[in-house]
């Protein structure tokens, strides 16, 4: 049974799916499954394998889906007493400990812009095991020789490329193009996508100008922009392209490990609040 679970886990990771692995890690007395029994739970509710059935498996199932969403492991303890046996129809009277572990594929980061900041973001992200894609229409900057092995480099017009490709919900998107217009075009194409992370480079004033265009001139929902990290990166006083890349990568890692729940929206929160009030 566990072989089936491991096969399904491997296939899920290859497809880029997030799952949770549920494992019995301890038991005493009479329990319906042995230590080591596993069940794989998918975000959409599919399961492979079993840890014994009954209401405790159902509880573990829901905790597993919660773990996928929160990306945090959890340990569950069950008392398999007479009341449990009567409810489940199982003959058992022991204790069981279950470990629920969210498992996700190597995170993918899409760097839109192959200039100086984009270059250092891509290189650093690759070094810490992100799967990196760089998209830019300038072959002078976007080329394999410059970025080196292991980084996927795509030479194409960014809005055109986005029109033909859908980023997975687990993806991280970093907008660091060469100018205001290109940043606006890229953000417009990505704002409605359900991404793990979406960040836009620029000063507070620049971010506000871009949001003004999207909301006031183009009618985009202010709510759709609330999940954007803008200005991008942690505030560490970064100045050089290398330092800015460090601040961006630090933010990506913080989001990956659940240390940042919401974007820092202080720069444009008044703008959003005003726009939402008009709705």
253 lies in which domain range?
Answer: 108-277
Same domain flag for 41 and 82: yes
Given 103, 118, 134, the domain boundary residue is 103
Number of domains making up the chain: 2
Same domain flag for 142 and 246: yes
Given 103, 138, 172, the domain boundary residue is 103
Same domain flag for 28 and 72: yes
Percent with pLDDT over 70 in the chain? 87
Same domain flag for 91 and 26: yes
CA distances from 253 to 52, 158, 189 (A): 37, 25, 24
Query: Of 6-20, 56-70, 170-184, 254-268, which gets the smallest average pLDDT?
Result: 254-268
Query: Of 80-84, 108-112, 187-191, which gets the smallest average pLDDT?
Result: 80-84
Same domain flag for 75 and 170: no
Q: What pLDDT, on a 0 to 100 scale, did the predictor assign at position 92? A: 52
Given 79, 103, 127, the domain boundary residue is 103
Same domain flag for 199 and 217: yes
Same domain flag for 141 and 270: yes
Distance CA 210, CA 29 (A): 63
What are the tokens at 113? 């812009």
Q: Is pLDDT of 75 > 90?
A: yes
Same domain flag for 135 and 271: yes
Does residue 34 or residue 80 have the better pLDDT? Answer: 34
Same domain flag for 168 and 39: no
Average pLDDT, the chain: 86
Distance CA 161, CA 266 (A): 31
Whole-prediction pTM: 0.75
Report the 3 state secondary structure along the chain: CHHHHHHHHHHHHHHCCCEEEEEEEEEECCCCCCCCCEEEEECCCCEEECCCCHHHHHHHHHHHHHHHHHCCCEEEEEECCHHHHHHHCCCCCCEEEEEEEEECCCCEEEEECCCHHHHHHHHHHHHCCCEEEEEECCCCCCCHHHHCCCCEEEECCHHHHHHCCCCCCCCEEEECCCCHHHHHHHHHHHCCCCCCEEEECCCHHHHHHHHHHHHHHCCCCHHHHCCCECCCCCCCCCCCHHHHHHHHHHHHHHHHCCCCCCCCCCCCHHHHHHHHHCC
Same domain flag for 256 and 148: yes
- Identify the CATH number of the domain in which residue 230 sits: 3.40.50.720
Q: What pLDDT, on a 0 to 100 scale, did the predictor assign at position 259? A: 82
Q: Is pLDDT of 54 > 80?
A: no
pLDDT tens across 216-228, in order? Answer: 998 888 888 888 9
Same domain flag for 258 and 131: yes
Same domain flag for 122 and 228: yes
């Amino acid at each position: 049974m566990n072989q089936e679970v491991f096969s399904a886990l491997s296939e899920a990771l290859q497809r880029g799916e997030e799952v949770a692995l549920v494992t019995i890690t301890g038991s005493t007395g009479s329990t319906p499954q042995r230590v080591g029994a596993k069940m794989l739970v998918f975000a959409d509710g599919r399961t492979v394998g079993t840890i014994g059935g009954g209401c405790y498996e159902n509880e573990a199932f829901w905790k597993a889906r919660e773990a996928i969403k929160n990306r945090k492991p959890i340990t569950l303890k069950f008392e398999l007493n007479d009341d449990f046996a009567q409810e489940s129809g199982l003959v058992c009277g022991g204790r069981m400990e279950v470990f629920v572990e969210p498992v996700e594929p190597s995170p993918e980061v899409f760097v839109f812009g192959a200039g100086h900041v984009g270059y250092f973001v891509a290189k650093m992200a690759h070094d810490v095991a992100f799967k990196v894609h760089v998209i830019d229409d300038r072959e002078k900057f976007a080329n394999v020789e410059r970025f080196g092995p292991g980084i996927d480099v795509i030479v194409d017009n960014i809005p055109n490329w986005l029109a033909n490709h859908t980023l997975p919900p687990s993806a991280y998107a970093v907008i660091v193009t060469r100018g205001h217009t290109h940043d606006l075009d890229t953000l417009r194409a990505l704002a409605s996508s359900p991404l793990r992370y979406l960040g836009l480079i620029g000063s507070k004033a620049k971010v506000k100008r871009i949001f003004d265009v999207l909301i006031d001139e183009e009618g985009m929902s202010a709510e759709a922009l609330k999940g954007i990290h803008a200005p991008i990166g942690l505030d560490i006083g970064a100045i050089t392209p290398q330092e800015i890349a460090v601040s961006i990568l630090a933010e990506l890692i913080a989001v990956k490990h659940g240390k940042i729940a919401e974007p820092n929206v202080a720069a444009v929160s008044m703008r959003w609040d005003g726009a939402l009030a008009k709705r």
